Amino acid sequence: MTVSVIQFGGSNCDRDAVRALEHLGIDAERVWHEDELPEDVTGIMLPGGFSYGDYLRAGSMAAQSPILDDVREAAADGTPVLGVCNGAQVGCESSLTEGAFTTNESARFQCEHVYLRVENAETPWTAAYEEGDVIEIPIAHGEGRFEISEDRYEQLVEEDRILFRYCDADGNVTEEANPNGSRGNVAGIRGDDENVGVLMPHPERATLPDLNGSTDGSGILRGFETA
């Protein structure tokens, strides 16, 4: 298995992603967005950062990169694709998933540890957990508020496409536990198919115990092995 971590101008978590994946025994390599996907790619990660300096709208310019055509084609063929933070924004902007991530309700950049409740444990990205499990993972974003129309949100709920919600340490989904004002406390969703997932928190920053002491995010990255 080889995971291609797509590097855009302004990405700053691509090396962290490769390091975390390799720590889990998953081969990974960075691929520049102007290059083609390797023929042997078996997984794709869209990492965090500030692609194109978040110009116009976070993720919108990176979503126009030609490599996204390859990513969409690979996703349609069943290749696992995970978007993290800016990668989640790119995922939405490129129609890999629905909705959009916009300016935090606080209008501030927020960097802190948050709790997530696992909403659907039957996807590759959540299979390492049980439904209702609470995990602790860092966030670092200024445009992480998930928005979608009420009708489409209700459809996401009905189709069990919400992966994680922000919650407190006891698993309670409350307004106080919502760091950015996301609709329904949504922290991550899947695409039309389970092989595509995006989330704003950084699982690669909660994988190596010597980094911040938490390994709660390793189960998400192991989705590349189970998808």
- Cβ proximity of 157 and 146 under 8 Å: no
- Cβ proximity of 8 and 52 under 8 Å: yes
CB-count burial class (<10 Å; 0-12, 13-18, 19+) for 2: middle
The torsion defined by the Cα of 137, 57, 41 and 159, in degrees rounded to 10, comes to 70
- Cβ proximity of 21 and 205 under 8 Å: no
202 labelled catalytic: yes
Chain CA centroid to CA 161, Å: 13
Q: How far apart are CA 19 and CA 206, in angstroms?
A: 12
**Nearest-5° angle of CA 153, CA 157, CA 159?**
115
Q: What are the residues whose beta carbons fall under 8 Å from the beta carbon of 41, sequence distance 6 or more?
A: 2, 3, 4, 74, 79
105 labelled catalytic: no
User: Which one of 13, 85, 92, 167 is the catalytic residue?
Assistant: 85
Across the strands, what pairs with 138? Answer: 113
- Specify the pairing of strand 2-7 against strand 110-118: unpaired
Q: How far apart are CA 92 and CA 68, in angstroms?
A: 12
Point out the residues that are catalytic: 85, 202, 204
